[in-house]
């Protein structure tokens, strides 16, 4: 179970005994259990829903902004980057940023935030890519 204001939200970790892939695209906050489940993954699809400034300056109703920013809402670029930094290690190869808000985020902002955080920590081996609603994303192939 993951923290989100939908009916029974879930995240997934799938594996074949050698490779594990994590999928977490509707999170309001990051829990200890989420960190521990994603830590051994080689690839992760992770929500980076919004840029906080863009959301706060948007024309969206105040109640919606509060819901998105709350513990049952969605992860910001910064929070997603924090999670990536916390679980990054030698086994993590690929991050796909997903579930970006069309109105309150930009791919380049989400990507820049995650990449800069990883580079600051010396994790140059981890590739960060975007996933898209309207086109096919890059393909990851385990090394």
| 35: Cβ contacts below 8 Å, ≥ 6 apart | 83, 86, 87
| pLDDT tens per residue, range 39-75 | 999 999 999 999 999 999 999 999 989 988 988 788 9
| pLDDT tens per residue, range 89-107 | 999 999 999 999 999 999 9
Percentages (nearest 5) of helix, strand, coil residues in the chain:
30, 15, 50
| pLDDT tens per residue, range 10-19 | 788 999 999 9
Give the pLDDT mean for 105-120.
96
| pLDDT tens per residue, range 75-90 | 999 999 999 999 999 9
Task: For residue 31, count CB atoms less than 10 angstroms from its CB and return exposed for 0-12, middle for 13-18, buried for 19 or more.
Answer: middle
**What is the reported pLDDT for 1?**
54
Task: Say if residue 2's pLDDT is above 60.
Answer: no
**What is the reported pLDDT for 136?**
87
> What are the domain boundaries of the chain?
12-130
**What is the reported pLDDT for 59?**
96
Q: What CATH number has the domain spanning 12-130?
A: 3.60.15.10
């Amino acid at each position: 179970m993951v923290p989100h204001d939908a009916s029974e939200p879930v995240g997934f970790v799938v594996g074949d005994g050698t490779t594990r892939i994590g999928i977490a695209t509707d999170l309001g906050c990051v829990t200890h259990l989420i960190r521990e489940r994603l830590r051994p993954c080689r690839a992760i699809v992770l929500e980076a829903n919004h840029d906080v400034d863009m959301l706060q300056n948007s024309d969206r109703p105040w109640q919606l902004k509060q819901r998105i920013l709350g513990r049952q809402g969605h992860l910001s670029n910064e929070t997603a980057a924090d999670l990536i930094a916390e679980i990054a290690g030698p086994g993590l190869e690929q991050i796909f940023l997903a579930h970006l808000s069309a109105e309150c985020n930009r791919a380049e902002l989400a990507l820049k935030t995650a990449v800069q955080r990883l580079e600051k920590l010396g994790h140059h081996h981890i590739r960060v890519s975007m996933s898209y609603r309207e086109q096919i994303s890059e393909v990851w192939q385990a090394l």
